[in-house]
Amino acid sequence: MWGGFRGCGRVLLLAGAARHCGRPHSRTQRLFSTSSALSTTKDESTASTDSAATAATKEGAEETPKQKLLKIIGNMKVEVTTKRKFQQLKEQEIKKQAANKQEGLDGGSSTEGDVQRSKPLNPELVQAASAVASSFPHSREQAESELLAQLRRHEETTDKQRRGETINIRNVISEMAVKRQSPAQRGVSISRRISLEMDEDGQRIKPGRPSSCSFDSGRSLKAGKRLNIFTKASPEMENALKTVSSPTIWDLEFAKEIAAVTEQPPRNGFEEMIQWTKEGILWEFPIDNEAGMDDGAEFHEHIFLEKHLQDFPKQGPIRHFMELVICGLSKNPYLSVKQKIEHIDWFRNYFEEKKEYLQEKNKQASQTFGT
Amino acid sequence: MAASALCWALRAARQVLPSQTRSYYVDWRMLRDVKRRKLAYEYADERLRINAIRKNTILPKELQEVADREIAALPRDSCHVRIRNRCVLTSRPRGVKRRWRLSRIVFRHFADHAQMSGIQRAMW
């Protein structure tokens, strides 16, 4: 009963308002009987949905070939399944309530709409639109209104073009300014053109070569968002890490607790030996003779220590003594460079302190000898 | 505010002053030996350098005398010759094997129970 469009040759001139056309339901028919240009008295079927009816003016017109075409379009209907029938029922119910509210408004809006538009749409186009819309299984009014809106937009653009309000490319180009290049930049660009770089094979790299960024089906490698999977940790992250560190005692205790809880006893001798190596009980193999001793200093820093003797007097017994000390230190493989420098510094301080005392002593000795 | 400052002062004083020892060495002699070892470690460098000045024929005698006086002023326990290699387990001063730091009796005891690695009763 829902399928099939039994109304023949009647096209309704709608003004884009959601309105139920004459329906077989007696209740709705009564409601819509007062609305303008909607009555369909010639309905053959009991349940034809929103069938289009011609305007009263065109009722008596001859059937032009156009009208025949429209008839054909109108007769073309999509087959409606039961599911769609129920959907349509639902929609009809909803629309009914909405339309009941709008009924009073709609009566006046149709005439107003015509007045607002400066140029009414071509009636033929409207007829075609309504015929096409009627071929939709449901939401016929919506389809019609949308099609009419599209037509209106199209008309507007054509009007604009005729008037000359659209974007003129000439204006755009005239407004664009010429970019000035500094001579330095020009030099750079020139040098780029003549590239002396060599590729791996010994062939010159020409500028503007698309080899580096391959172009594949309209996409380039370097376009698009970066995933940041392989980039190094940014300095921001490093700063954040630094600020977070300096763990408190509680953090250390917590870490120790976790380590103590999670550690398992070694399953075999190898794991036991690994544990011992970590603790320091077992040496690392192959044995490194300088394990724990290497401070990264070169041999010349160990041997040539004369530069540290600059503050000492150049003659005399102290210098002689210090040279012997340095000779001994240079042969010592057990001390680090730092320790050797400390050794020499201690002697310097010691002799500085004793200087005044020695001078006093010399004066006293000379005085006693004198007297 | 004043109470916290007082507490901090007390704690600092306690650390500076010679603290009462609470550990459990075998006997007091062992403890004194431990103290001597600690001091000897602290003053080892200084003693070596002052002795280098003293045991010298190049430097003037006045300097050496001063050095003598200085080294005598150092604490007596800071010299290494006062350290005695006691047994680690029994604190026995004599009959201690240096490699194992054990007295001969303890060494024999453990060796017979096969608790000394690589030690076997000699037989030839």
User: How many Cβ pairs closer than 8 A exist between chain A and B?
Assistant: 26
Confidence of residue A191 (pLDDT cuts 50, 70, 90): low
Q: Quick one: tokens of A139? A: 């939401």
Residue B117 contacts residue B110 (beta carbons within 8 Å):
no
Least confident of A81-90, A134-143, A317-326, B42-51: A81-90
On average, the pLDDT of chain A sits at 72
| B63 close contact with A: CB closer than 8 A | yes
pLDDT at residue A82, rounded to an integer:
62
Confidence of residue A47 (pLDDT cuts 50, 70, 90): very low
Q: What is the pLDDT of residues A334-358, one digit of tens each?
A: 899 999 999 999 999 999 999 888 8
Q: What is the pLDDT of residues A207-242, one digit of tens each?
A: 555 555 556 667 777 788 877 777 666 666 666 555
Confidence of residue A142 (pLDDT cuts 50, 70, 90): confident
For B1-28, what is the mean pLDDT? 65
Query: Which bin fits A48, alpha (ψ -120 to 50), beta or left (φ > 0)?
Result: beta
Mutate to test the interface with A, among B66, B68, B69, B71 (most CBs of A within 10 A): B66
The nearest CA of chain B is from the CA of A318 a distance in Å of: 7
Q: What is the pLDDT of residues A303-327, one digit of tens each?
A: 999 999 999 999 989 999 999 999 9
On average, the pLDDT of chain B sits at 88
Least confident of A48-52, A277-281, B31-35, B111-115: A48-52
For B62-77, what is the mean pLDDT? 94
ipTM of the complex: 0.77
Higher pLDDT, A213 or A360: A360
Asked if B62's CB is within 8 angstroms of A361's CB, the reply is yes
Mutate to test the interface with B, among A350, A352, A368 (most CBs of B within 10 A): A350
| A344 close contact with B: CB closer than 8 A | no
Asked if A357's CB is within 8 angstroms of B49's CB, the reply is no
Q: How far is CA B52 from the centre of its chain?
A: 22
pLDDT at residue A109, rounded to an integer:
44
Higher pLDDT, B121 or A121: B121
The nearest CA of chain A is from the CA of B59 a distance in Å of: 6
Higher pLDDT, A128 or A265: A265
